[in-house]
Amino acid sequence: MLDIVPVPYQGDPLSYFQALRQRPGAVLLDSGRPLAPGGRFDIMASDPLDSLEVDHEGNSFNSRGQAVAGNAFAAQQRLLNRLPECTIDSELPFLGGLIGYWSYDLGRHLEPIGQQAHQVVSLPLARVGLYDWALIQDHELEQSWLVASPERRRQVEQWLRTPTQTDAFQLTSDFTANLSAEQYQQRFAAVQRYISAGDCYQINLAQRFSAGYRGDLWQAYQYLRQATPTPFAGYMAWQHGHNHQAILSLSPERFIECRHSCVETRPIKGTRPRGATPQQDAALAHELTSSLKDRAENVMIVDLLRNDLGRVCQPGSVQVPQLCGLESYANVHHLVSVIRGQLSADTTPLQLLEAAFPGGSITGAPKVRAMQIIDELEPDQRSAYCGSLGYLDIRGHMDTSIAIRSLVADAGQLHIWGGGGLVADSNGAEEYAETLAKIGHLMTALITPQ
């Protein structure tokens, strides 16, 4: 039996998760409140009943190291089906189910992408846990609940009474890029040749920065959250043998939400920095909304995502209620579109995720050819960057992010990527500068913590 029990409301999830973060399989899906606009729910959990990891050959393994048949999404569906059916009438987003991440490189096992880029990061291609409890905060209602069986509830209440110590975090080297400015421009020129030849009409090109670190990644996440609060953030950390691995995501972008079979995706294309004064800020926002190039980038991805959703949604149900709307965050303005559809009756949310994965806003278009070009031009695989973090509830509710503005910890190194969509009239110097602008404040937050 599942109970929904009120617990004291907190303005942000940090104090609750502080007590849970060292539990096995601890996960935080963070709305960024009270600093970020737009986010509503925080979801925290730990101690999953079981978990699945997908290795770089596409094979799935459970928490006991046993191989699980089928591709990643089919194996995850079978894991989800182990939970009993839930008939509770609740508007809470999560009453038990899967929480985890799906890396960009999982797409190599869905489409004929190739294998030219080097594997630098050893994180699994996907890692999801099966959770039978969660602590959920609703910042709109300013209420919090513990969703758990009576037995689980007693365990969680004990864990919450035992907060952990946060240790210091420090970088041990400067961030260095895997591409020089000259090498980026060579790849920019290659993209332009592909566009001129008709291979594609948009490519998302990224570069990776890496630095050594020591200390507590939870402290690092708090520095990043303070510097750039976002509504689709998340923190997941675990041990692989003696190797500490983690994802610290400060994403502003939703990938796919599904509730009551209603599907929504919100691609971001088009970025400007925030201004130092209200007048400058307004001018930059106007520059973005009136930019034909940025609007064209956005519309290209809207068309791609309409096609992706059309593969699994009811015919005629896919609509675009918002095209190139302005949304402003702590450090940047973005153009954001909204695409909605009605999921077909015979399709599960995991099949929806598989059909649209990875998100078109971070590949380019057409998607498969764009991913092949990315594999050729980017020297290293992307790991969790441009993949997704999120949950899938036993009732069929799902919400996932696009893991941009995200760091990956592996083998004593922190990796962060910055990228952008390139089209025929892109300017190489401006695009290179944009890759730095998108993540510079995150690197600075770790170099000089506030």
Q: Among all residues, which ones are annotated catalytic?
A: 253, 269
Q: Do 339 and 306 form a contact (C-beta atoms < 8 A)?
A: yes
The whole-angstrom separation of Cα 31 and Cα 7 is 18
Q: How far is CA 276 from CA 169, 332, 401, in A?
A: 30, 12, 29
Closest by CA position to 202, among listed 213, 212, 210, 194: 194
Long-range contacts of 283-288, Cβ-Cβ distance < 8 Å, separation of 24 or more: 284/333, 285/326, 285/328, 285/333, 288/326, 288/333, 288/334, 288/335
The whole-angstrom separation of Cα 398 and Cα 348 is 10
* 52 dihedral zone (left: phi>0; alpha: psi -120 to 50; beta): beta
C-alpha angle with apex 382: 380 to 387, nearest 5 degrees? Answer: 170
DSSP string, 263-282: EEE--EEEEEEPPSSHHHHH
Query: How do 3-7 and 406-410 pair as beta strands?
Result: unpaired
Q: How far is CA 431 from CA 46, 251, 273, in A?
A: 40, 20, 13
The whole-angstrom separation of Cα 382 and Cα 395 is 32
The whole-angstrom separation of Cα 384 and Cα 406 is 8
Q: Which residue has the tokens 């596409």?
A: 58
CB hemisphere CA count around 215 (13 angstroms)? 15
